[in-house]
Amino acid sequence: MRQPVPADLEAHLAPYAARSAQSAGRRYPEAPPSARTEFQRDRDRIVHSTAFRRLEYKTQVFVNHEGDLFRTRLTHSLEVAQIARSVARNLRVNEDLVEAISLAHDLGHTPFGHAGQDALNECMREHGGFEHNLQSLVVVDDLEEHYGAFNGLNLCFETREGILKHCSHAHARQFGALGERFLQGRQPSIEAQIANVADAIAYNNHDVDDGLRSGLLTIEQLAEVELWQTHYEAARSDYPQIEGRRLVHETVRRVINTLIVDLIDTSARNLAQHAPASLAAVRLAPPLVVHSEKIAAQALVLKRFLFKNLYRHYRVMRMANKARRVVSGLFNAFSADPRLLPPAYQALERAAQPRLIAHYIAGMTDRYALKEYQRLFVVDDH
């Protein structure tokens, strides 16, 4: 027997929060869900999607085969969702929506992280380019094949809006109502703003953790980063008996806590000052989910440190170079002879072929991309 959704399930939310009952709807009309809200249904569809499962074998910074303990896109997405839900709860906005956005935000990422994306974007330069943020939307709108009535996951407008974090005016015009805010300079929901900042909190701090674990970063180097060093010294003072990984974890958790608490406090003050009475008012306000000037400046120093010392480390650059060779090699081989592609990715019209190739490559995990490259270019003696 179908159980109705409790009427008061979202009664605790603030006036500026997104509510399932007031959603702008789905691309294809569906009967209301039973025993869950529309945004809970979105979250569940994302978790059960093929693209979500693939995130387990897609790189965050380190390629999948380099170690079992480094972050993947899947663990990163879970960490983003945890941070975002904590912030959402404190700001009295919709936790289910913020979780759905957080879990879906990286579904369009290529194998091999940003190196793979850059390579695929270069390959697609004459065909509209490639950007993982737009690809995430394409995945949930069209590429997933789970339902008989439609392609994609048919998510709510508010979830899709949160997934589309960045968009050029040229692309925005292609997305109709979804792209209007980019053309008009308006803001997304508070939930989308939370997921966006939670993403930065998660990857900056956990890249520090992975960088130290890998040996590419050292504690001595991090001494120049105030946000890290302040909490590192406090952890050593509070627990003089700990060292190594335990000390690193204690420091990382303190940094994350500082960023989250500051985000909640600053955003709460902004919400009190602007007092948006509805989601529509949020869209007309300036960005409301932000850090204080002091913490934002400290977080920027950390981000720049990681760019210089981790993302541009020679060992990371070597792997990035391999990734570019694999992605560009696959794209060029498939472009030269589309018959090498699985039948589902062979376009009837030549003009559509490059984008289908991009979809195929973007959907690959790190290890599948490496295997495809070997199948195409390596002669096996056995």
Instruction: Sketch the domain layout of the chain as residue ranges.
Output: 35-316
Please say if the pLDDT value at position 83 is more than 90.
yes
- Range list of H helices, the chain: 38-47, 50-54, 73-91, 95-104, 113-123, 132-138, 157-163, 169-172, 180-184, 190-214, 219-222, 226-238, 244-274, 279-284, 293-306, 314-336, 353-362, 366-377
Give the pLDDT mean for 169-186.
Answer: 88
Give the pLDDT mean for 324-343.
Answer: 97
191, 284 in Cβ contact below 8 A?
A: no
The contacts of residue 340 (CB under 8 Å, 6+ apart) are 333, 334, 376
pLDDT for 67 equals 46
3 state SS of 79: helix
Please say if the pLDDT value at position 356 is more than 80.
yes
Please say if the pLDDT value at position 219 is more than 60.
yes
Architecture of domain 35-316: Orthogonal Bundle (1.10)
49, 144 in Cβ contact below 8 A?
A: yes
The contacts of residue 357 (CB under 8 Å, 6+ apart) are 331, 334, 335, 338, 341, 345
Q: What percent of the chain has pLDDT over 90?
A: 80
pLDDT for 136 equals 96
Q: Give the pLDDT band of residue 70 (cuts 50, 70, 90).
A: low
138-152 confidence digits (pLDDT tens): 999 999 999 999 999
Distances 327 to 56, 129, 193, 199, 253 between C-alpha atoms, Å: 19, 14, 32, 25, 36
Choose between 213 and 338: higher pLDDT: 338
Q: Please report, as a single letter, which amino acid is at residue 57.
A: Y
Average pLDDT over all residues of the chain: 92
The DSSP code for 67 is -
Q: Give the pLDDT band of residue 7 (cuts 50, 70, 90).
A: low
C-alpha to C-alpha distance for 106 and 133, rounded to whole angstroms: 7
pLDDT for 9 equals 77
Q: Give the pLDDT band of residue 1 (cuts 50, 70, 90).
A: very low
The lowest-confidence range among 52-61, 62-71, 263-272 is 62-71
C-alpha to C-alpha distance for 115 and 292, rounded to whole angstroms: 32
331, 357 in Cβ contact below 8 A?
A: yes
pLDDT for 2 equals 47
103-138 confidence digits (pLDDT tens): 999 999 999 988 899 999 999 999 999 999 999 999
